[in-house]
Amino acid sequence: MKRSRINEIMAAADDMIRHYGFVLPPFAYWSPDEFKARTDARRIVDARMGWDITDYGQGDFDKLGLFLFTLRNGQLADLKRGGGMCYAEKLLISRQDQLSPMHTHVIKAEDIINRGGATLVIELFGSDDAGNCAADRGGVVLCDGISRPYGPGDKLKLAPGESVTLMPGDWHAFWGEGGDVLIGEVSTVNDDLTDNIFREPIGRFAEIDEDVAPTHLLVSDYDRWL
């Protein structure tokens, strides 16, 4: 992805987030130079909090992509010992007909919440005995606390205010229907480096063409820029 395109997506996402009554934390607006100059930002970097814009390495963001901002993220060590900061929170934007591809998680359980906009469509499959996406298996999810069985390939549609709880082994893909959707994600500790298991062999992060300077750093920039 071109850095100029990423900068544009950031600005549009910030506008949409504010439209629905949310405001990003102060570190969202640090310039790269300010980020590098901070001596108190290590926790943000280590937890990989911040901007995340991906085309899954496929080069067509409008068709296959996702905007994310990690607001807070706990520590895997706390999760392993069963106490402490064991949670994470994100905001996402799924554009109309923009696919976030079929995947699951080994560790993370997550609530996916339609925070505003159009309809969020989530396609669901269960897992086989080896944990792979099973074309012939369904499962059960919670929709705002109510158990809902699903068959293989069923499409769950969430209106604004509605949510679904997905557990490890619930394979899911999603997109906006009828418009763009602001999504909330509340989950156990988030590890985007190792805990996204995709059905197809694709990447998690975009490759960046540095045609202009970044407005703000992506989480995938931290290792190189900081």
Give the pLDDT of residue 119: 98
Tokens of residue 140, six digits: 């059960």
- pLDDT at residue 197 in the model: 94
Q: Is it the case that residue 55 has pLDDT exceeding 90?
A: yes
Rounded Cα distance between 161 and 120, Å, is: 11
pLDDT(203) > 90: no
Cβ neighbors of 205 (< 8 A, separation 6 or more) are 54, 57, 220
CA angle 219, 26, 207 (to 5 degrees): 20
Report the predicted TM-score, pTM, of the whole model to 2 decimal places: 0.96
Helices (H), 143-225: 222-225
* Burial (CB count <10 Å: 0-12, 13-18, 19+), residue 168: middle
% residues pLDDT > 70 (the chain): 100
For the segment 183-197, what is each residue's pLDDT rounded down to a tens digit? Answer: 999 999 999 989 999
Question: Average pLDDT for residues 103-115, to the nearest whole number?
Answer: 97
Q: What is the DSSP string of 110-124?
A: EEEEEEEEEEEEEEE
* Residue 84, amino acid: G
Q: What is the largest CA-CA distance in the chain?
A: 53
Is the pLDDT at 141 greater than 90? The verdict is yes
Total structural domains within the chain = 1
Give the residue numbers spanning the domain of 106: 3-225
The confidence score (pLDDT) of residue 204 equals 87
Q: What is the mean pLDDT of residues 114-131?
A: 98
**Phi, psi (deg, nearest 5) at residue 16:** -65, -40
Q: How far apart are CA 183 and CA 89, in angstroms?
A: 11
**Average pLDDT of the segment spanning 121-129:** 98
Q: Kindly report the CATH number assigned to the domain that includes residue 176.
A: 2.60.120.10
